[in-house]
Amino acid sequence: MNARKKIETWNAGVKEHLEALSEVTSRGADFEAFRKFMEFRIAHRDALCDEYTKPRWARLRMNLYGGRQRAFANFRNQLSALQENEIQGS
């Protein structure tokens, strides 16, 4: 199962909290809008913290980080191999 499907599945439990937060924004210079955003944030904080502090989220982030590192390492290895071939061919 890829990361996107896992995230969608795991977020299903907090979907109503995420939808409520998506209705407000912290952007802009309007103090009332920011205050409303903070009230929504505080109201849903406990549910979101309970979900996002589970070990599965940390494992997923670490797996994604490791995958990115492997992709860069493979790319650098391919570049090194090309450079060595050019040097040997010259």
**CA quadruple 64, 56, 21, 42: dihedral sign:** negative
Above 70 in pLDDT, residue 39? yes
pLDDT bin (cut points 50, 70, 90) of residue 51 is very high
The ranges assigned to domains in the chain are: 3-89
Mean pLDDT of 9-29: 86
**pTM across the whole model:** 0.57
Measured between its terminal Cα atoms, the distance across the chain in Å is: 46
Question: Please, what is the average pLDDT of the chain?
Answer: 88
**Cβ atoms of residues 34 and 26 within 8 Å:** yes
